[in-house]
Chains A and B, each alone.
Chain A
Amino acid sequence: MKLLLKVLLFLLPIFQPSISEAKSFVFDVVVSEIIYFDNEVKAKNDSTEFFENDFGISCKSESNLLNYRKLAISSNAVAAKGIGNLKVPIYRVYGGCSSMYGKSYSLINPKFVPNYRNFAGLPNANTGQYLLRGNIPLKDIRVGRWFASPLDGRTGGLPLELYQNFNQLSNPANIILKKPF
């Protein structure tokens, strides 16, 4: 989210001299507000909205000047598109009955989670000998479950269990673990 805000805040000031008033909303919260007032130009009380839905982010632009409406829209479109194409690493612990091509992934690096098997709810048949790491654009991320389920005495609760295809990954790399999960 911080990165998202940074991109928006970086892009919008570029248009500052041209836009009399522009606001950017992400998840209905104003993240950037630029107000430039020119006495010679009268406001026409026009406004518009733009929604970039492929990553589920709604970027709404408002401009009170008809002539600069498109500028406000395009700035947000660029920002939203750029964010959607950002690649983030995802991880899959596998081995034994669990193949590398399965569809359950995690956004969280298992190396940083003590007792990962318990929190991720790995079946016993998964030997946890391998760690697959790949990158995926943010727009392609598909959350299967918000939290891993507590099953058969496992704690579960690991946030953001993803449902992805192996062929969506770019630069997949396998790591053989000295100490399996």
Chain B
Amino acid sequence: MFSFKKSKNIELTQTAREIFLVILTKLIQILSKANLTDQAQVVKTLIDLLIQQKDDEFVKLLNGIDMWGGSGAVWEVHIGDNHSAREFEIEMVKLIDLMEKTNVLGKGIKPIRKIFKENVSAKE
């Protein structure tokens, strides 16, 4: 009868989906090239959810522990090749920017963007 829990359905625009897709595809390429198969699988799942237009599940996984948690999460991987590492950081910054722009950015992610931005500007 009463619903105390606010349920907010997330719906991304087609444009946002397309930009997410571009960034995530780039990320999966970098991760696969670096043989980081488990992290690449997380990104692949995100792409699948995006294609299936399951926005709620996509946003949940996008803000989840597999992306932004402690050791073993996607953000903290080590990429040996410097060029790829820089590309990875640039794409991660783009991803966080887009998450912020589409109002789906979760807690504890902004400090990571700051680190990546510093790294990218230091390598320039």
Chain A residues near B (Cβ < 8 Å): 92-94, 96-99, 101-105, 120-126, 142, 144-152, 154, 156, 161, 163, 165-166
Contact = CB atoms under 8 A, between A and B. Distances in A.
A163 B76 contact: yes
B78 A101 contact: yes
B112 to A, nearest CB: 7
A121 B115 contact: no
A166 B48 CA distance: 33
Q: Is the interface of B mostly helix, strand, loop or mixed?
A: loop
Q: Which 6 A-B pairs have the closest CB atoms?
A: A149-B108, A98-B72, A97-B38, A126-B72, A101-B78, A151-B65
Interface string B104-120: 00111101100100000
A104 B66 contact: no
A94 B111 contact: no
A92 B76 CA distance: 12
Contact of A151 (B63, B71, B112): B63
Interface string B67-82: 0111111001110000
Contacts of B69: 121-123, 148-149, 151-152, 154
Q: Is the interface of A mostly helix, strand, loop or mixed?
A: loop
Interface of B: 38-39, 63-66, 68-73, 76-78, 106-109, 111-112, 115
Given A123-B69, A144-B112, A149-B69, A102 B107 contact: no
Contacts of B115: 142, 144, 163
A102 B108 contact: no
Contacts of A96: 38, 72
B13 to A, nearest CB: 25
A145 to B, nearest CB: 5
Contacts of A142: 115
Contact of B65 (A102, A123, A166): A123
A123 B73 contact: yes
Given A97-B38, A148-B108, 13 more contacts: A122-B70, A123-B70, A125-B38, A126-B70, A144-B115, A145-B111, A148-B69, A149-B69, A149-B109, A150-B108, A151-B65, A151-B106, A161-B70
A152 B106 CA distance: 11
Contacts of B112: 144-145
Contact of B76 (A93, A103, A125, A152): A103
Contacts of B109: 149
A97 B107 contact: no
A141 B16 CA distance: 37
